[in-house]
Structure 1
Amino acid sequence: MSGERTGARVDEAAAAFGVEEPTPWQREAVTAVVEGRDTVVLAPTGSGKSLVYLAAARLTPGWTLVVSPLIALQRDQVAHLDGTDTRVEALDSTLGKRRRAALLDAVGRCEVDLLFLAPEQLANPAVAEALAACPPGLVAVDEAHCVSEWGHDFRPDYLRLGTLLDRLDDSEARAVRVATTATAAAPVLESLTTRLRLTDPTVVTADLARPNLALVVEQAADGDRLDARVLELAREDRGGVTLVYVRTRTHAEELATALGSTGRRSAAYHAGMRRDAREEVHRRFDADELDVLVATSAFGMGIDKPDVRRVVHAGAPASVDDYFQEIGRAGRDGEPAEVVLVHRPEDRALGRFFAAGVPRRSTVRAVLAAARRVGAAEPREVARAADVGTAAATRVLNLLELAGADADAEAVREVARERKRLEQSRVEMMLEYAGTGRCRSAWLLGYYGQAAEDCAQCDNCASGRAGDAPVVDDERRGERVVHGTFGTGVVVDADERQLTVLFEETGYKTLATGVVDDQGLLEPA
């Protein structure tokens, strides 16, 4: 089929979902999928990644399976497609037995066009049987960074996806696979390609630049001054809504209460709230009934409000990836918006505190023994058999997924140590961003492998600091290297003064460029 004819079909498919003119990267990605190529799509939050698999679904033989991590996100997608001629369904844990059975029966008879489900559903025998009866022609994995152990939002349920999807492939035809994500540095892209068993994938990267965002970083002397500055920023009426991100539930409640006493319509949002309470806050946020929302990272995927005029971080986030995704919620309408990070000296120590610890040897042994004894994948059953809490059992089982099914207690604990080192190094990388003198927008884009000119509007550009910053070495970014002590890694940032490498075993390390070059500390992998 000619490129012109394919392009016309892509435009026609996009129009069915209300998109009159797809972007060049959307066209490129849909075309790759339609031509039968596995594809990875890296594009900003809210830029229309879902159009890739929705449009491709109309142009690909058979039906489409979409693996998505959050029930709320699945429901939003289903609601958005209501009224189209697409037969779309979501299979989740809230469905009643009768409705679930009817839906699986419809899937087995090939009577759906699009099916959304969470990764853990694929391990269910009844689901696997229905999918095997009518294998999909296209499989889309949304939020695909969750599959990578190096991703900021790693989810062990995603680890099994490659194997589970392989089982679904029809004996005569393998389903085309497309993975979408908003945050994937080079090591994460490499990892998700392997984990999802993608075959020589086409990688389509949208322009990640957000020229309407002014990036600002401020340092407060201590926690009290940090709160005072955050409250000052949140009290300013910039039109639209202000979104404040914090690290803890308590902090969210405290700041929301303080803002409410000043007359600002405010609310807190975190995972510790009841489901109906969270849904009510979400409704008020969407209905323009809030001036300020103070939230933990639980307020995350699927947020698509156009008029967030300011995003404030009260303290350094857990990672650059978290930060990039959260600031992406500002200025979705294309109008100017401000992003302010207010951090403090103790953020480094707090980051170490928040990094998950290493479970006790006795707990690991008990959970491993119970899992092998009862043969159950459900954490609750394993927890009951091991006489430990469900959270503890879940954590050990997640670590076991990374360590391998035959791992012993010490191997599982070593994986926990590696995870802890990685999480701590992510905080260091975030503080590296906070302290940089380079253009902040260019620094962030470089982290994701995109060269960029200075933005001329972040605090460093406005003050002139960016002009005095070290010269960036774009050619070294993405290089796979080996260090005698730290092992194999990927260069994620480089300038004339220092290199930042994400090592597979020890996380992010910053090395002096001169020392590395003079002593030959890094060899090509």
Structure 2
Amino acid sequence: MPPRRSDATTIRKITHDVLGFDDFRPGQERAMRAVVGGRDTLAVLPSGAGKSAIYQVAGHLLDGPVVVVSPLIALQRDQVDRLEELQPGAAHHLNSSMSAGDQRKVLEGLADGTVLYVFLAPEQLTKPEVVDAIRDAGPALFVVDEAHCVSAWGHDFRPDYLRLGGVIEQLGHPTVLALTATAAPPVRAEIVERLEMRDAEVVVAGFDRPEIRLEVDAQPDAHGKREAVLDRVLQLVGDGQKPGIVYSATRKGTEDLAEALTERGLRATAYHAGVRAAERDERQEAFMADELDVVVATTAFGMGIDKPDVRFVVHAEPADSIDSYYQEIGRAGRDGQPALAVLVYRQEDLGLRRFFAAGIPAEQELQQVAGLVQAAQAAGIEDGVDVKDLREETGRGATPLARDLNLLEQVSAVVLDEEGAAHPAEGAPKPSEAAAAARELAEHHERVDQSRVEMMRGYAETTECRRQFLLGYFGEQLDQPCGNCDNDTRAAENGQPQPAAPPVDTPFPVETPVEHAEWGPGVVMRVEDDRLVVLFDEVGYKTLALAAVLEHGLLKPRPA
């Protein structure tokens, strides 16, 4: 559908009238104008920068409904609740927790124009009746929230996002808006490619969140680390800097820390995937209602949580990547007021992250799974193979089996529907060929994941400006030290200010495409005085000594 009005004055008026905004955050207006003008748009805006406002405003100016793909039901409900306040009855979600009748009513509302925004998980778009109903409604805008999930380079890759490019074409290619808070240049390129975006406008607002102070507290052993986490949280809450979030890598760790904080007088609770769903919802609601001082959580807590006054985020273990870490600390200080991000760091904890990153399934296991799925179809089982049946047949646990199915889906061997059943993909390779391709893909993912863990080590152990390190990871060069991290404070106290960033005429500027004789093609992500960080397609992140690169010609520029 063509846009109705896209001039800046109209967009500003709608933004003021509907959202009450008198001004825009970086990147918002540019993205709105591109979308309302009918151009596919990728908006990479930091956490709390108002990404949802882009499609909320566009929905008022486009002729047709807005479809929003979102990975979590809780996130869908949150967005629907917000839109309900602005336009009662205009927004609905569509997911597997609803009855068939309620789902049908939403699709009928799309058809008669009473539903203007529909939020759904990508799995819903495996259903032909859903795709047909959306197509017939003539959607004006197709929004992909958490768009980094479409990229194998992303830190939260979701195989079910891979189908979205094809779905967009089935819908007649309405204007596409992809939204994410963290996307390094290779991730941006893959999002545009996977979603089959046309002449995409890429809007990248500054990643910098200068209000968040960055600190690392290095500890020699597990006991010292635990006490440091507890002491720091108690001190922060005691000083009135609350509420806050503590991230732990394991469920057991969240329970232990939450119990210890409660014993010391804080209103604390644990949050992880092992807690019953209803109880998780209660704990999240209590946090949002200021009934808790701190939530101790795994990464199950946070996506879509938009509480502006979180004052601190403390990590009891390193995140699995800089991508994850930056998104997690971005949940602090969304009101623009000072906030704190502390990583309590012990070198040995990186081994835990390497363990989580590791895990390549045996080729015969992959072949068995692919063979069972294809055999079911050959036997005339049209509903696919239920994952529970696969578990019984293979004797494999839920987590490794899910990993196998995800790998097989990525190599176009199987397709998973919303009910969790597995079907052979159209034109699927033989089970032996699928297994070999899936195994090769798993090895590639492991190399990349391990390199991300090493970048997390680099952040924790750098003696230079931590903000320069973080932003450099995403391909954004900060010319001067931030002055709001522990390393910069320490340098200033010692009378040795941190050096400025290298000049822009460095032989390998950020985002330069390069080629390495052994590691193949890559992109320069960060430039320091004497080092380069390069993201290689095959082996992930590598840190190279600039002198050695120049002396031995290790890198050669390549065409973009």
TM-score tier, shorter chain, comes to over 0.9
Q: Is the 8 A contact 2:465 2:498 kept in 1?
A: no
Name the counterpart of 1:417: 443
Partner of 1:130: 133
3-state DSSP of counterpart to 2:354: helix
- Take 1:516 and 1:494, find their aligned partners in 2: how far apart are those partners? 13
Structure 1 residues 364-415: Cα deviation after superposition (integer angstroms, max 9, x where no partner): 1111012222343864465466564443332112112323332421221111
Deviates more, 1:381-390 or 1:100-109: 381-390
Instruction: Work out the CA distance in 1 between the residues paired with 2:457 and 2:399.
Output: 30
1:58 shift after superposition: 1.4
2:494 is aligned with 1:464: no
**For the residues of structure 2 that align with 1:473 and 1:157, how far apart are their CA atoms?**
42
- In the alignment, does 2:224 pair up with 1:225? yes
* Mapping for residues 25-424 of structure 1, pairs under 5 Å: 25-85=27-87, 87-169=90-172, 174-236=173-235, 237-239=238-240, 240-375=242-377, 376=384, 379-380=387-388, 382-383=390-391, 388-405=396-413, 406=429, 407-424=433-450
Cα separation, 2, equivalents of 1:382 and 1:59? 48
How far did residue 470 of structure 1 move?
Answer: 7.7
Instruction: Percent identity, please.
Output: 44
Structure 1 residue aligned with 2:466, among 440, 456, 459? 440
Taking the aligned partners of 1:178 and 1:5, their CA distance within structure 2 comes to 15
| Distance verdict in 2 for CA 1:88–1:377, change over 3 Å | farther
Residue aligning to 2:7:
6
1:23-72 deviation digits (Å, cap 9, x = unpaired) = 35211110011111111111111110111111112112211111111110
Amino acid in structure 1 at the alignment position of 2:311? R
What TM-score results when the alignment is normalised by the length of structure 1? Answer: 0.94
TM-score (norm 2): 0.89
- What secondary structure is seen at the aligned counterpart in 2 of 1:82? helix
- Name the aligned partner's letter for residue 212 of structure 2: L
Looking at structure 2, the residues matched to 100 and 51 of structure 1 have their Cα atoms a distance apart, in angstroms, of 26
1:211 Cα shift?
1.9
**1:219-252 CA distances to partner (integer Å, 9 max, x unpaired)?**
1001111101000001112322121111111000
Q: How far did residue 472 of structure 1 move?
A: 3.3
Amino acid at match of 1:51: A
Distance in 1 between the 2:511 and 2:161 partners?
25
**Aligned-pair RMSD on alpha carbons?**
2.2
Q: Following TM superposition, by how much is the alpha carbon of 1:133 offset from its aligned partner in structure 2, in angstroms?
A: 2.0
Q: 1:85 to 1:287 in 2, by over 3 A?
A: closer
Q: Which moved more, 1:500-509 or 1:69-78?
A: 500-509
The separation in 1 between residues aligned to 2:264 and 2:157, in whole angstroms, is 39
- Shift of the alpha carbon at 1:467? 3.3
5+ residue gaps, structure 1: none
Asked if the contact 1:244–1:293 (Cα under 8 Å) also holds between the matched residues in 2, the reply is yes
Q: Quick one: structure 1 residues 112 and 380, their matched pair in 2 at CA, closer, same or farther if it must change by over 3 Å? A: farther
Q: Which ranges of structure 2 fall in alignment gaps of 5 or more residues?
A: 378-383, 414-428
* TM superposition shift of 1:92: 0.8
Aligned partners of 2:27 and 2:205 also within 8 Å:
yes
SS at match of 1:90: strand
Distance 2:6 2:64 in 1: 21
Within 2, Cα distance between the matches of 1:468 and 1:301? 34
Measured after TM superposition, the shift of residue 90 of structure 1 is 0.5
Residue pair 1:46, 1:304 contacting (<8 A) in 2 also: yes
Question: How many angstroms does 1:78 deviate by?
Answer: 0.5
Contact 2:65 2:110 in 1 (8 A): no
Residues 186-239 of structure 1: per-residue CA shift (max 9 Å, x gap): 111111111111112111122222222111112100111110100000111232
Residues 1:521 and 2:537 are matched in the alignment:
no
Q: CA, structure 1 residues 412+467, in 2 after alignment: closer, same or farther (shift >3 Å)?
A: same
Equivalent residue for 1:495? 528
Does 1:481 find its partner at 2:507? no
**CA apart distance, 1:167:** 1.2
Q: Which deviates further from its counterpart, 410-419 or 127-136? A: 127-136
Q: CA deviation at 1:13?
A: 2.4
Q: CA deviation at 1:442?
A: 2.3
Cα distance in 1 for partners of 2:394, 2:263 equals 48
Q: Is the 8 A contact 1:313 1:340 kept in 2?
A: yes
Aligned length: 521
Distance 2:503 2:531 in 1: 10
Query: In structure 1, how many angstroms separate the alpha carbons of the residues matched to 2:385 and 2:175?
Result: 28
Per-residue displacement from partner, 1:105-128 (whole Å, max 9, x unpaired)?
Answer: 333444421111111111112212
